[in-house]
Structure 1
Amino acid sequence: MRRILLCLSIFLLFPQVSHAQLYRVKKGDSLYKIAKKFHTTVAKLKRINGLRSSLLRPGQRLIVPGRRYKPVNSRKTIAFLEQKAAEVKEDVKEAGEDIYPITNVVYEEGEKLADVLSTPLNVPYDNWNLSILENPEYKSALLEILARVFKNLKNTPYVFGGANPKRGLDCSSFTMYVYRKLGINLPRTARAQFNVGVPVSKNELKVGDLVFFRTYASFPSHVGIYIGNGKFVHFSSMYHGLSISSLSSPYFRRRFIGAKRVLSEKLVKKILYAQKNN
């Protein structure tokens, strides 16, 4: 709630700032020093943060004017996913006839799946273990779909509180955007997204799972999409945009708090069927 109120204050109380970021107050900081650093005024800082006095405490977080940065990692992230999908396809070729072609499976089940949309929010049971993704052809197809969705965001900057793909996204509006493209409506914030789906342990993660972290707050405050091999895609910061990070990196390993699955086997098949018929 505090984060939502902070974001709303940017647009309602400080409309001349089109982008903003969070700044952690350091020892020795003052509103004057911070205002000078970010080329703004003390009055504006106080207004946007709802401050009644000029007293600050180390560790306190303030909304400060930001600027639009061209995302530097987005294209590399998309290229990585496309390459990963291609590598999985090679596994399919090597397996030869041992793998039942996905085209056959999808078209055979297409009619049955046409009016079925299974999500953890309205179906008491489905195949949530996603063993279907152990088939390289299904896994490759899902990675290709994700890469295509991500391509629409290659020039989208990170904007704290942003929810428009043309102007800027943050971590949770990114996941909301991606899953909406897959037919799933997620809540707006990482905190709310953590309350949907089926809990998944770290050693059972599959492509498409949501992974959550505690970063700037004690509650779930950062979220990304797992892509396999211990890696996940997320909108990481205003400098990097769409990025790939490792769950085993010191920063994210310490802050990881859990994962949720919102894709079921039925839904994966439905998504693939829909993509093949577009």
Structure 2
Amino acid sequence: MKKTTIIACFTVLMFSLPNLANAQYYVKKGDTLTGIAKKHHMRYADLKSLNPQFTNPNLIHVGDFVVVRSKNKAKDLVEYARSLQDVTTYVYGGKKPPTRTDCSGWVQHVYKKFGVKLPRTSRDQAKVGQPISFRQLKIGDLMFFSTRADKVITHVGIHMGKEYWISNLSAKQDVEILSTWGSWTQKYFLWGQRVL
């Protein structure tokens, strides 16, 4: 009974988390970053730039997560954003992405890696692309929020698909993955923008 319950919980967890298999690779025995780049028809420099978590490219381990390019730009973009969880530190007005920046600088950096130029501030980013409602959100869409009574935009994040979004949230949290159904999200969400 206990084993069945554990397997059921694991299965539910695996299917409820963002799963973007086309845009990710897990290191296998004998892999090198150069070999992974060749396998995915990428230049080594491009692979390295998408994986700042590897400070020493000679030190990769079996099971390490590697962002690769696929034919789905939105999934690749989200996987790159996810890879920055242990890389980015939130700094308001920070100008050193991906390591030291705020939410809009972080989003600008992530999209730039995939050929999309965005303005620097979240207020200006909210004017780019096609406005969409909460129910229309798809993977790779921008999400805008306001914690102010006058509804002036104060925050931006990226929709991950499967009811999650990611953002360089605050000085207390840095890059976080959150539920689109979470209380903070539902309270402060304004609208989305589709730029891909």
Instruction: Give the conservation status (yes or no) of the 8 Å contact 1:215–1:255.
Output: yes
Instruction: Give the conservation status (yes or no) of the 8 Å contact 2:107–2:156.
Output: yes
TM-score norm. by structure 1 comes to 0.43
1:21-66 per-residue CA deviation (whole Å, 9 max, x = no partner) reads: xxxxxxxxxxxxxxxxxxxxxxxxxxxxxxxxxxxxxxxxxxxxxx
* CA pair 148-248 structure 1, distance change in 2 beyond 3 A: closer
Identity rate of aligned residues, in percent? 33
Secondary structure of the structure 1 residue equivalent to 2:92: coil
TM-score norm. by structure 2 comes to 0.60
| 1:44-63 matched pairs, under 5 angstroms | none
* CA pair 215-142 structure 1, distance change in 2 beyond 3 A: same
Secondary structure of the structure 2 residue equivalent to 1:161: coil
* Alpha-carbon distance, 1:164 to partner: 0.8
Instruction: Give the conservation status (yes or no) of the 8 Å contact 2:167–2:177.
Output: yes
Question: Which deviates more, 169-178 or 146-155?
Answer: 146-155
Unaligned runs of 5+ in 2: 1-16, 25-69
In structure 1, the partner of 2:20 is 85
Unaligned runs of 5+ in 1: 1-81, 90-136, 264-278
Equivalent in 82, 92, 101 of residue 169 of structure 1 = 101
| 1:59-70 matched pairs, under 5 angstroms | none
Instruction: Give the conservation status (yes or no) of the 8 Å contact 1:212–1:256.
Output: yes
The question of 1:215 aligning with 2:179 is answered no
* Alpha-carbon distance, 1:239 to partner: 2.4
* CA pair 224-83 structure 1, distance change in 2 beyond 3 A: closer
Corresponding letter in the other structure for 1:182:
F
Instruction: Give the conservation status (yes or no) of the 8 Å contact 2:18–2:162.
Output: no
Secondary structure of the structure 1 residue equivalent to 2:116: coil
Instruction: Give the conservation status (yes or no) of the 8 Å contact 1:211–1:225.
Output: yes
Q: Which has the higher helix share?
A: 1
Equivalent in 187, 193, 197 of residue 125 of structure 2 = 193
Instruction: Give the conservation status (yes or no) of the 8 Å contact 2:143–2:192.
Output: yes
